[in-house]
């Protein structure tokens, strides 16, 4: 996979600064979340604000670049799971790994859950992962391990729940996340599936569609 054409010809010092910025942003996002001030990132990287904005015109571009690796890792997790002959282990592993990544990096959680208007390959990769997950779910159900009334939206639900833990728990997040995932995996198993009351109108796609904001009663009031 060749590097993106936009960054091939950078002067040596510029490239160096670019790496410093990415590193600083990575740390800042992980500990303080996605809305850390740009100036703080620049300061941490030891560059001026202008340099940061020249390299990454929008915060979004910085975020996508910073979390590209981790998203790749996510995709790889899904692919690995698709190659696993044991459907339930595949399902379990994906859930555990992704949630662990979320819990370890507060910014990653937000980046994962945020829709990026541009970032075409981002979206495409996400759609691909979603298809992979659907297949894993299908197999696990077919194997009789995953309860039949499990819905793909339940994964989104789990991700949101896990994000809540990552957002507030801080240092305790990894342990709490592990615990939550363990509980839920047990609840997802087919062999002890009590009836499940409510259906979940919640998939990643329509979460982005018209999700988060207020009901917008007036204009701004």
Partner DNA sequence: CCGCAACCGGAGGGGGTGCTCCACTTACCG
Partner DNA sequence: CGGTAAGTGGAGCACCCCCTCCGGTTGCGG
Among 24, 25, 28, 47, indicate the residue that binds DNA (CB under 7 A): 47
Among 48, 144, 164, 200, indicate the residue that binds DNA (CB under 7 A): 48
Which is nearer to a second copy, 120 or 148 (by Cβ)?
148
Part of the chain binding a second copy (CB under 8 A), chosen from 63-71, 121-129, 130-138, 161-169? 161-169
Identify what 176 binds: DNA, a second copy, none; CB under 5 to 8 Å per kind. a second copy
Among 15, 16, 31, 35, indicate the residue that binds a second copy (CB under 8 A): 31
By C-alpha distance, which of 194, 115, 186 is closest to 149? 194
What is d(CA 41, CA 23) in angstroms, rounded to the nearest whole number?
Answer: 9
Part of the chain binding a second copy (CB under 8 A), chosen from 63-71, 82-90, 123-131, 150-158? 150-158
Size of the site for a second copy (CB under 8 A): 53
Should residue 127 be labelled a site residue for a second copy when binding is judged by CB under 8 A?
Answer: no
Should residue 192 be labelled a site residue for DNA when binding is judged by CB under 7 A?
Answer: no
What is d(CA 134, CA 181) in angstroms, rounded to the nearest whole number?
Answer: 19
How far apart, in Å, are the Cα atoms of 91 and each of 60, 66, 78, 86, 140?
31, 27, 9, 9, 7
Which is nearer to DNA, 1 or 8 (by Cβ)?
8
Which is nearer to DNA, 36 or 159 (by Cβ)?
36
């Amino acid at each position: 996979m060749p590097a993106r054409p936009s960054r091939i010809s950078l002067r040596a010092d510029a490239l160096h600064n670019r790496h410093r910025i990415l590193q600083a942003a990575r740390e800042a996002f992980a500990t303080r979340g996605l809305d850390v001030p740009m100036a703080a990132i620049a300061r941490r990287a030891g560059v001026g604000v202008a340099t940061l904005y020249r390299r990454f015109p929008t915060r979004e571009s910085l975020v996508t670049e910073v979390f590209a690796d981790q998203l790749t890792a996510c995709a790889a997790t899904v692919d690995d799971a698709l190659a696993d002959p044991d459907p339930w282990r595949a399902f379990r592993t994906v859930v555990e790994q992704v949630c662990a990544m979320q819990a370890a990096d507060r910014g990653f959680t937000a980046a994962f859950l945020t829709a990026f208007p541009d970032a075409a390959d981002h979206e495409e990769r996400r759609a691909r992962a979603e298809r992979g997950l659907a297949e894993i779910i299908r197999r696990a159900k077919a194997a009789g391990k995953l309860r039949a009334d499990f819905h793909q939206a339940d994964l989104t639900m789990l991700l949101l729940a896990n994000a809540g833990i990552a957002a507030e728990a801080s240092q305790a997040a990894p342990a709490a996340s592990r615990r939550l995932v363990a509980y839920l995996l047990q609840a997802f198993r087919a062999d002890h599936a009590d009836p499940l009351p409510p259906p979940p109108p919640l998939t990643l796609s329509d979460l982005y569609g018209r999700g988060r904001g207020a009901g917008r009663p007036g204009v701004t009031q």
